[in-house]
Amino acid sequence: MVRHIQLTPLSFLGIGIATLLTFPLLYVAYSAFTGDLSQAGNLWNTRLPELVTNTISLAIGVSIATLTLGVSTAWLITRYQFWGRAFWDWGFVLPLAIPSFVLAYVYTYLLDRGGPVEQSWQWLAGADVHLPSPYSFTGALVVMTLNTFPYVYLLARAAFQNFNLSFEEAAQAMGATRWETFFRVSLPLIRPALVASMFLVVLYVVSDFGAVSLLRFQTFTYAIYQQITGRFDYQSAALLSLLLVTFALVFLFAERWFRQQSRFYQTSGRVRTATPKPCSMGQNLAITLSFLMIFVAAFGLPVFLLIQWTLTAWTNGEVGSSFWTYIGNSVVLSATAATAALALGTPLAYLASRFPSKLHIACLQGAYIGYVLPGPVAALALLMLFTDVIPFLYGTVFVLILAYLIHYLPAGLQAMESALQQVNPNLEEAARNLGSKGFRTFFQITFPLVRKGFSAAWLLMFLLCIKELPATLLLRPIGFDTLAVRVWLEASEELYQLAAPPALLIVILSIPAVFLLSKKNWQAG
Amino acid sequence: MTCGYQSDVPTVRSLTLHLQAGNILCLLGPSGCGKTTTLRAIAGFEKLSAGEIHLQGEVLASTSVHLPPEQRRVGMIFQEYALFPHMNVENNVAFGLYHWKASDRQARVQAMLDLVGLQGLEHRFPHELSGGQQQRVAIARALAPKPLMLLLDEPFSNLDPDMTIKMRKELYRVLRQTQTTAILVTHDHEEAFAMADQVAVMQNGVLVQCDTPETIYQQPSCSFVAEFIGQANTIPGIIQNGKIETEIGTIPNQSDFESQSRVLVMVRPDDIQFTPSESGPGRIESRQFQGSQTLYSIRLKSGQLIHCCMKPIPVYNIETSVIVHVTTSHTILFPQPALS
């Protein structure tokens, strides 16, 4: 007797949601290859080599830089006792509160020709010395590194905290020096965490639009945006999008594969963790100085400038009533999107965790497609779908919310899944055993128990939506500006003071999400 | 009934059980033998791939019918109790009384808490209770909606040994007092013997024997049952001249096995004694003091190991040579499996 696949009404709901979330991408793939492909050949010859080189070199550069920065800070913080260690422990997570486009706009001011950094450098090294322009590879590298190294820091810190000290002691007992131990034992053992953080960073870099667009550095996302807005060439944009998504998918599978290959098992039983070693005066000074530099560059200085500009703008009366409209737009839009995401994500996560049939897992995986879908690509997908198929909805808030859903449901879905998995299915079975139907069981037993996790998921998605830039730029109804869009528009015109109030507000709003992230269990594997 | 997680490899095969109303049945067997799956099938959490389940004349499940768990009126106590962590004791117990009138509900909750001796703890939350108290709540909660039958999945596995014995008595009292029909899953034969009117022994998804505890102990149907419900020696022998010749002596034959057939004789450790002797064929290999008695393991010349229980005094040292006597006239025989 075959154990038949159970297709409940809930299953159909799950299939429907998964289709809604994946269909736009499929439509892009379809339309990329239908129609006139001569444009594509042109694109292939002219722009592609530059885009590929730029995107890949930026990804590699940022990876190396963030690894160095993230691992060394995590190592020092987990292993040594120095001044202000408790502060640095969470202080290095704060840079995540600054969206890439805000950091980029601050750095275009700082690094510009004749800007404050170059001036002070010339004061030190002579008037003829010039620094590289921010509108370059170097600019993008600096901004993206400062923006993403906390991911490496978080994962490496978790790995070092759960690290079994016995391995290092064994190495040292066999005569290895401290450096040898670090490079031959400690680092290889946390490799899964490093690979996972690399994955996060690379995905972040290749899908970032805000920073590269303000720094005018030609990567795939920026080129896709230009094809859409500048040339109205949707087909080329679709081809570029497909290439980018393919790259992300290959990378995703490579990471999965690697993670399976390198499953290191910490010896079972008691794990001996390190007690931080005290530092000498000199070491204290050196660590404090270098940490301060990183922190000022990644968080302190940008926030200081934003506050200063905001105050100036405020006293000059440049913060008008339209500012409050933007706040309202952002909040209402993001709250609606986050609530919708929660409503759509719940059946998917529930089905996959309670009835893990192939179909249900496939629905869940489908919802995760947004994970490898950069903002401009998600926007393009909806743009093409709605202009071609349902034109009367195009240019409405509905399309924008759908873009947010596709793009950010994966982030919330992870939190929702783990919350649901923490509820022992026995509890639901006990409820049903006591005569309670499925609906009542969910609302009286399951939901109260996952409320915390679901609230966190909602908050995370809400704040990601507040920060969303490319899809909002491309899909917003005419005259409907959000905080993020205002920052970008003003910053593109180099109107630093006007961009500051919305930017500062986004940073302040993002801080709770950052703490949620830092509390999350960052163990890889 | 037959059921399982994969269609081609049923976890439970062709199991047939009958249980009188008011009786307690224990499903006994090693872990992985399908006891819990059987229980979950009765509760409605697993579907049957063949067979039927009836309760008081109603079909709960068959190949075409699958009554959802909430409609079965079968109570269940889970291994980890599954108390709702966000509800206090009172609300946990009242959960199944959703459709009752408020006054009835309150009275029933009080009655149940009285029954299990938890008066005064109504407003505690599960994490504020000890293991034994949690179990009492689980019992009260399961019995509150007056189920037609109660299922218990290894109810004592989360308690320490002292508490287990106390709760076993307590549960027995409650089940008898409420005249509840119950099926209890366990891997502990002592638990099964203490609680059950009937014991059903399972092995690899198949029911091996279902009888009263006494019959199971005295007349196990096969060597698996014999060994599972207590240390049993199974000694190979041959029937000759109406008696069984074994390495430890000649034993009277009470079975109808034919002459010359090879058999396994089951002898309980309590029925074997030894005396030290220089020329004895056995040698004490290990000794385990158990308080009121001492369990010796004796290696015979053929390599066969047998266990026997002796009074704790005198103490015999390891390596002592001994002669073994069987002191019972009452033995169980099984056919000896063909040597491969």
Which of A433, A436, A441, A442 to mutate against chain B (most B CBs within 10 Å)?
A433
Report the residue of B14, B36, B45 to disrupt the A interface, i.e. the one with the largest count of A CBs within 10 Å: B45
Is A424 within 8 Å of B80 when comparing Cβ atoms? yes
* CATH 3.30.70.1450 describes domain B2-227: no
Are A429 and B75 a contacting pair at CB < 8 A?
A: no
Helix residue ranges per DSSP H, A355-396 = 358-367, 375-388
Nearest by CB: B70 against A3, A437, A444:
A437
- Kindly give, in sequence order, each residue whose CB lies less than 8 Å from that of residue B331, ignoring residues fewer than 6 positions away: B244, B251, B252, B254, B265, B266, B267, B271
Chain B residues within 8 A (CB-CB) of chain A? Answer: 5-7, 43-45, 47, 49-50, 63, 68-71, 73-76, 78-80, 82, 84-86, 95-96, 98-99, 141-142, 144-145
Contacts of B141 in chain A (CB under 8 A): 430, 434
Please answer yes or no on whether B142 and A434 come within 8 Å at the CB atom. Answer: yes
User: What class, spelled out in words, does domain B231-335 have in CATH?
Assistant: mainly beta
Contact flag A1-B71 (C-beta cutoff 8 Å): no
| Class of residue A128 by CB neighbours under 10 A (exposed 0-12, middle 13-18, buried 19+) | exposed
- pLDDT bucket at B3, cuts 50 / 70 / 90: low
In angstroms, the separation between the Cα of residue B297 and the nearest Cα of chain A is 33
Reported confidence tier of residue B183, pLDDT bands at 50, 70, 90: very high
A450 chain-B contacts, CB cut-off 8 A: none
CA dist., res. B25 & res. A124, Å (int): 90
Say whether B141 and A434 touch across the interface (CB within 8 A): yes
Residue B146 has pLDDT above 50, yes or no: yes
Convert the pLDDT of each residue in B4-51 to its tens digit.
Answer: 555 566 778 778 888 888 899 999 988 888 888 888 889 888 888 888
The C-alpha atoms of residue B134 and residue A489 are separated, in whole angstroms, by: 61
- Sorted by where each begins, the domain ranges of chain B are 2-227, 231-335
Interface residues of A toward B, Cβ cutoff 8 Å, are: 1-3, 424, 426-427, 429-437, 440, 444-445, 448-449
Confidence of residue B1 (pLDDT cuts 50, 70, 90): low
List of chain B residues whose C-beta atoms are within 8 Å of the C-beta of residue A433 = 43-44, 69-70, 74-76, 142
Interstrand relation of B243-246 and B272-276 (parallel, antiparallel or unpaired): unpaired
CATH of domain A9-263+277-519: 1.10.3720.10
B240 within 8 A of B226, measured Cβ to Cβ: no
Q: Which of B39, B78, B99, B141 to mutate to test the interface with A (most CBs of A within 10 A)?
A: B78
Distance separating the N- and C-terminal Cα atoms of chain B? 34
Our CA-based measurement puts residue B125 at a distance from the nearest CA of chain A, in whole angstroms, of 14
Q: Say which of B71, B75, B82 has its CB closest to residue A426.
A: B82
Instruction: Please state, rounded to an integer, the average pLDDT across all residues of chain B.
Output: 85
Asked if A433 and B142 come within 8 Å (Cβ–Cβ), the reply is yes
Which chain A positions have a beta carbon within 8 Å of B79's beta carbon?
A: 426
Among residues A197, A199, A186, the alpha carbon closest in space to that of A266 is found at A186
The structure tokens 């869009």 sit at A485
Q: Which two tokens stand for residue A443?
A: 């609302």
Cα Dmax for chain B: 80
Q: What does the pLDDT read at residue B340?
A: 42
Rounded to a whole number of angstroms, the distance from the CA of A431 to the nearest CA of chain B is 8
How would residue B189 be classed by pLDDT, with cut points 50, 70 and 90? Answer: confident
pLDDT for position B338: 58
Q: Identify the CA nearest to A348 among candidates A359, A338, A339, A337.
A: A359
CA distance linking residue A413 with residue A361, whole number of Å: 13
Distance from CA of B209 to the nearest CA of A (A): 26
Please tell me the predicted confidence (pLDDT) of residue A270: 58
Q: Which pLDDT score, from 0 to 100, does residue A438 have?
A: 82
- Contact across the interface for B82 and A2, Cβ inside 8 Å: no
Chain A interface mutation, best of B86, B91, B92, highest count of A Cβ atoms under 10 Å: B86
Token pair for A445: 């037993």
Q: What is the pLDDT of residue A267?
A: 47
Whether residue B309 contacts residue B323, with contact meaning beta carbons closer than 8 Å, is answered with no
The shortest C-alpha distance from A428 to chain B (Å) reads: 9
Count CA within 13 A, CB hemisphere, residue A489: 13
Count how many pairs of residues, chain A against chain B, have C-beta atoms within 8 Å.
71
Positions of chain A with pLDDT under 70: 1-6, 35-36, 39-40, 262-272, 520-525
Domain ranges of chain A: 9-263+277-519
A71 by Cβ neighbours in 10 Å (0-12 / 13-18 / 19+) ranks as: buried
A461 and A338 Cβ atoms separated by less than 8 Å: yes
Taking an 8 Å cut-off on Cβ atoms, the answer to whether B145 and A1 are in contact is no
